Chain A
Amino acid sequence: MTDAGEAAENSPVTQTRTGPPSLGRAAMAGLRQPIVAILLLIALFTSVSGKPLDGFLMLAVATLLIFDAARSGRQAACGASAATASVAAPAGSRRNAPRRLLVKAAWFAAGVLYCVVVGSFRRYSWPATAAVVALGCLMIAIGWQGPLARRQPLNGEPLRRVWLWAAVLVSGGVLELTSLLQQPHLTTDSYAHPTISALTDPVLASSPGRSAILGGWLVTGWYLVSR
């Protein structure tokens, strides 16, 4: 899907006005995106709980998304969609199987090396911070470019039942937030009301534990950008 195509989907402003919306209206359309609101909430709560770098990065990405939605919305309203529509060729369709296998093995080895090396760094140290921020930024850049695969959109009964997943995720988030707010201080863990972070501290205290958690994080990230 192109930028303009996404904008038409993302921006209700473009559907109700004949001319291009003002920058303010287009930015408000971006601000109304649920994901942007979630990122802003994460930025707020992360910052007040003593992680200003996390909060800054979330805020930066949310702001970029708002500007991107605004820019795309204005382009779509100007009728740019037809001119820029294109269909990407499936990636790697001409590669042969042994080569693909070799590339996959190389990525796997690089991933294992990353987990072992970064897992050996102390938590919250600058080397660990740099390694995680670098990988996070790389994945966000890949995600920004576009989906690597086309999938069948949900419709009918499965689409109507998406709320079940939303309910599970919101329940987990509310539980975590409740525990966070019941701590003696936002930066001090509570034994009686542990957050998920507090519960995982014993695992993350050792190098193998950190490597294992990093491995899970890496696999999840790869799964996401390949959707």
Chain B
Amino acid sequence: MSSRDATIIGYLTVLAAGITLQAAAIRRPDRLPSLGRVLSQVMQSRTGRVGVVVAWAWVGLHFFAR
């Protein structure tokens, strides 16, 4: 397995972990928070809210802006 394959498998593993966690949270909301609920919690304060939106804006800038 090449380094490239290992790197891509690493990304896919993280993605799969996120999907698994979200599925588990939907199935048992009393035990696990979904990503949406975590984001809501983080975004209750202005710092958290702006921070999360800025992180989102950065993604757009990173992929499209000069």
Contacts and interface: CB of A to CB of B under 8 A. Distances in A.
B44 A136 contact: no
Interface in A122-163: 123-126, 128-129, 131-133, 135-137, 139-140, 142-144, 146-147, 151, 153-154, 157-159, 161-162
A147 B45 CA distance: 9
Contact of A124 (B33, B47, B64): B64
A92 to B, nearest CB: 19
Interface string B38-66: 11111111111111111111111111111
B62 A194 contact: no
B62 A143 contact: no
A165 B4 contact: no
A46 B38 contact: no
A139 B56 CA distance: 9
A133 B66 CA distance: 10
Interface residues of B, number: 48
B46 A125 contact: no
B60 A132 contact: yes
Interface stretch (A83-91, A102-110, A167-175): A167-175
Contact of B3 (A154, A193, A210): A193
Contacts of A47: none
Interface of B: 2-4, 7-8, 10-11, 14, 17-18, 21, 29-33, 35-66
30 contacts: A6-B47, A10-B46, A39-B51, A39-B54, A54-B62, A57-B58, A65-B47, A65-B51, A72-B46, A124-B65, A128-B66, A142-B53, A143-B50, A144-B49, A146-B46, A151-B37, A154-B37, A157-B32, A158-B37, A162-B33, A168-B14, A168-B17, A172-B18, A175-B14, A192-B3, A194-B8, A221-B53, A223-B36, A224-B53, A225-B53
Given A54-B58, A136-B56, A217-B60, 12 more contacts: A33-B47, A53-B61, A65-B51, A124-B65, A126-B66, A142-B53, A146-B46, A192-B2, A192-B3, A199-B8, A224-B43, A224-B56
